[in-house]
Amino acid sequence: MKKLLLAAIMAVVITGCSSNSSYVKVVDDSMKDDISIEKINERVNSESGLKELQVLGENETNKYMKLRYRVVWFDKDGFEIKSIGQNWTELPVYKNADFSIHIVAPNKAAVDYRLFINK
């Protein structure tokens, strides 16, 4: 019983410690077979101190698509940081080709993000 309680406490502590709640989400289910997210790269630019995000994906269909994306940034405490990146930005995606989204954080406080990709 003691072991079980300890394990439960550890699980809560570990979950509580992991602050990274960033993710990339394809909003429209109908697109899930059409595009794939291959890789997500993150770095903090040493010159600017701003976090950068690069999402690499692929258009697996035989047709050109015009997608849109928007990103919402959060500070280390999970508070949303308003920025112009919250508006939908158009993204041309050529048929059977890779695509990339490169975004820079609005300021140094922005550490977590939620990137939404839609039609």
Partner 1 sequence: MKHVTKIALSAILAVGVMSGCADKTERIDIHNDKGDQVMGLDYRDFNQAAGEAVQSMLMSGAVDKKNGDRYVLAISRITNDTMQHIDTDQLIKKIRVELLKSGKVVVTTAVGANGPEDKMSKQARELRKDDEFNQNTVQKKGTMSAPDLSLSGKILQRNVAMDDGKQQVEYYFMLSLTEIKTGLAWWEGETIIGKRGSGKSVSW
CA dist 97 and 67 (Å) reads 14
The one segment of 18-26, 41-49, 55-63, 91-99 that binds partner 1 by CB under 8 A: 41-49
8 CB burial (10 A radius; 0-12, 13-18, 19+):
exposed
- Is 101 an interacting residue with respect to partner 1 (CB under 8 A)? no
Contact pick of 53, 55, 103, 117 for partner 1 (by CB under 8 A)? 103
- Is 64 an interacting residue with respect to partner 1 (CB under 8 A)? no
Give the residue with the Cβ less far from partner 1, 41 or 48. 48
Residue 74 has which token pair? 């959060």
The one segment of 2-10, 16-24, 28-36, 40-48 that binds partner 1 by CB under 8 A: 40-48
CA dist 24 and 10 (Å) reads 28
Q: What is the DSSP letter of 77?
A: T
Whose CA is closest to 119, among 69, 56, 76, 55?
Answer: 69
Least separation in angstroms between residue 48's CB and partner 1 is: 5
- Is 83 an interacting residue with respect to partner 1 (CB under 8 A)? yes
